[in-house]
A = this chain, B = another copy of it.
Amino acid sequence: MFKKILVAIDGSDAAKAALEKAIELNQSLHADIYILLVQKHMSNLEASMHMMPNDNSTVGDSVLAYSEQLVKSAKSTVTAANPEINVRGFIKIGPVARTIIAFAEERQIDLIVLGSRGHGDRDGFMLGSVSHKVTSMANIPVLVI
């Protein structure tokens, strides 16, 4: 049965759409929802190309704060749709597809939900896209939105 659904988010519109569909599907399933944001490990130089900290915090702190905000917002979206659903948020650092799969296996997830076009994955046919890697490598059903 589908009792634990993992929704992988990354701040992209596709991930938002994936979360919305997971919530819709879960109106029937009443599963627990796990929100997972995987941060690729970035050097400070790489990270500084993405955002600019405006106080004394390090770039790493800013990236983490942004991730935390995204996870918190996703949890609120789930709870707003149905306050009775158990929802938990997680942030992991590592290679995205492999980290999603490892997390899903560890938590005995029944269904992984993800957007088809995350950040840096504009061409669905690009070898190495996160959704392609996850659907190819996971032994768990994957719903691509």
B141 touches A142 (CB 8 A): no
The CA-CA distance from A28 to B137 in the complex, in Å, is: 27
Query: In which size bucket is the chain A interface?
Result: 20 to 34
A135 touches B136 (CB 8 A): no
Instruction: Please encode chain A, from 126 to 145, with 1 for each CB lying within 8 Å of some chain B CB and 0 for all others.
Output: 01000110011100011111
The CA-CA distance from A7 to B127 in the complex, in Å, is: 25
Q: How many copies does the complex hold?
A: 2
User: A127 — which chain B residues lie within 8 A by C-beta?
Assistant: 125, 127
Residue ID in chain B nearest A31 by CB atoms: B28
Residue ID in chain B nearest A143 by CB atoms: B143
The CA-CA distance from A108 to B121 in the complex, in Å, is: 27
**Which residues on A are within 8 Å of B, measured CB to CB?**
1-2, 21, 24-25, 27-29, 116, 124-125, 127, 131-132, 135-137, 141-145
Beyond the given A132-B135, A141-B144, could you list 17 further A-B residue pairs with CB under 8 A, ordered by the A residue number?
A1-B24, A1-B27, A2-B28, A21-B141, A25-B29, A28-B28, A28-B29, A116-B135, A116-B136, A125-B132, A125-B136, A127-B127, A132-B132, A132-B136, A143-B143, A143-B144, A144-B144
What are 23 A-B pairs at a CB distance below 8 A? Answer: A1-B27, A2-B24, A2-B25, A2-B28, A21-B141, A25-B29, A116-B135, A116-B136, A124-B137, A125-B132, A125-B136, A127-B127, A131-B135, A132-B135, A132-B136, A135-B135, A135-B144, A141-B144, A141-B145, A142-B143, A142-B144, A143-B143, A144-B144
